[in-house]
Copies of this chain bind each other. A is one copy, B any other.
Amino acid sequence: MKQVLITGSGVFTPAQVITNDELVAAFNQYVDLFNAENAEAISRGEVIALEYSSSEFIEKASGIKSRHVLYKDGILDPYIMQPVFNKRGEDEHPEMVEMAIAAAHEALAQANKSAADIDLIICAASNMQRPYPALSIELQQALGAAGYAFDMNVACSSATFAISNAVNAIRGGTAKVVLVVNPEFASPQVNYTSRDSHFIFGDVCTATIIEAADTATSSNSFEICGMRLKTEFSNNIRCDVSYTDHCYPDLDAETPFFRQQGRKVFKELLPLVADVIEGEMAACGLTSSDLKRLWLHQANINMNIFAVRKILGREPEPGEAPLVLDTYANTASAGSIIAFHQNKTGLTVGDHAVLCSFGAGYSIGCLILRKFA
């Protein structure tokens, strides 16, 4: 089978930043307002008083110090507590496409390719800004690419699963050069009034160029020498917003929002992750001492520390399993790609590394990479 490479990557990072302190200040003001407004019901025991959040709690629980978002103002207004922005018209790109254009240009430049070389675009993300026309097709037109495009979604593993589809399309002969984009416009799915989850997500978009070795001219590329994908159903990370919502007689106010059972996820998901990574390493004839770097999903620092210790059998060296969630927060499927993009230099041709996503579904996508050029 054809040798297939990742020849370029790109990240679009929104300019606006929300620190934990800013987020907590808004949240705690919201708590004061809520508790004052509901003081009588709280005193009668009919409503439970809300409790303050804190930057220390957030950083300890998650490793997150700040996050990038597209629309900061509404999120930090205790009377609004969500991003607010105007719906774009048919003659404007929706946010997900706009972010993808920027990330795609960086990935194309790294891969030494032009948009005209692209013959397949996969837009893969946890949420889509409309059902049709597919966002990937709008991106195709905006870039001036040919061929075909489709949207796909498997939550936090959207990027790795899309890369596997790209590899298969090249091997199957339906594409030569594939652009995968992961516009994770996550802030609209966050319930900013929930102490347990208001800090979790940030907005970002990643892009990768996938092509066969015989067309590659990139000076920093990685062969995809192993792929292992696994899914196992769980409701422990769930979002229910639907195109059918207007048909329901009753609709929970929580409907648009992400929710999770964090402890169950930690306990159930990590053994699956270790199995998938160890299984694919074995299939590739690799042991942990062969791994020069681990670009892992970025949801929670404690999950990453646990996973890295399990796979390496020891504490990681500095830079061996880079973290980006301190400044990006959880960015769903984009997380491991940001870690890769920002930390892919310093390897020698022939070095092996792991790129692995894990999250909602459950879904786990493991790529074994080998420094190629």
A: residues with CB less than 8 A from B are 1, 71, 74, 82-87, 90, 95, 126-134, 136-138, 140-141, 147-155, 157-158, 161, 164-165, 167-169, 171-174, 185, 188-189, 227, 229-235, 237-251, 256, 360-363
Contact = CB atoms under 8 A, between A and B. Distances in A.
A246 B87 contact: no
Given A132-B237, A168-B165, A251-B87, A137 B154 contact: yes
Contacts of A132: 126, 153-155, 237-239, 360-361
A152 to B, nearest CB: 4
Nearest to A164: B174
Contacts of A130: 238-242
Contacts of A251: 87
A145 to B, nearest CB: 10
Contact of A233 (B138, B153, B363): B138
Nearest to A71: B247
Nearest to A241: B243
B133 A155 contact: yes
Given A128-B128, A172-B172, 19 more contacts: A1-B173, A84-B248, A86-B249, A87-B248, A130-B238, A131-B153, A132-B155, A132-B237, A132-B239, A133-B237, A133-B362, A134-B154, A136-B231, A140-B232, A149-B361, A151-B153, A169-B172, A188-B243, A243-B256
A195 B244 CA distance: 21
A324 B247 CA distance: 27
A6 to B, nearest CB: 15
Contact of A161 (B148, B153, B154): B148
Contacts of A138: 233
Task: Give the interface centre of A87, A161, A251 by most chain B CB atoms within 10 Å.
Answer: A87
A202 to B, nearest CB: 16
A94 to B, nearest CB: 8
A246 B82 contact: yes
Given A154-B151, A155-B132, A231 B140 contact: yes
A247 B83 contact: yes
Contacts of A362: 133, 137
Contacts of A164: 169, 172, 174
Contacts of A87: 240, 244, 248, 250-251
A280 B256 CA distance: 43
20 contacts: A84-B248, A87-B248, A87-B250, A127-B131, A131-B155, A132-B239, A134-B361, A134-B363, A137-B233, A141-B232, A148-B363, A149-B154, A149-B361, A150-B231, A151-B153, A152-B152, A185-B244, A188-B243, A188-B247, A239-B243
Nearest to A146: B230
Contacts of A1: 172-173
A154 B161 CA distance: 17
A75 B231 CA distance: 37
A231 B143 CA distance: 13
Contacts of A232: 137, 140-141
A225 to B, nearest CB: 12
A140 B83 contact: no
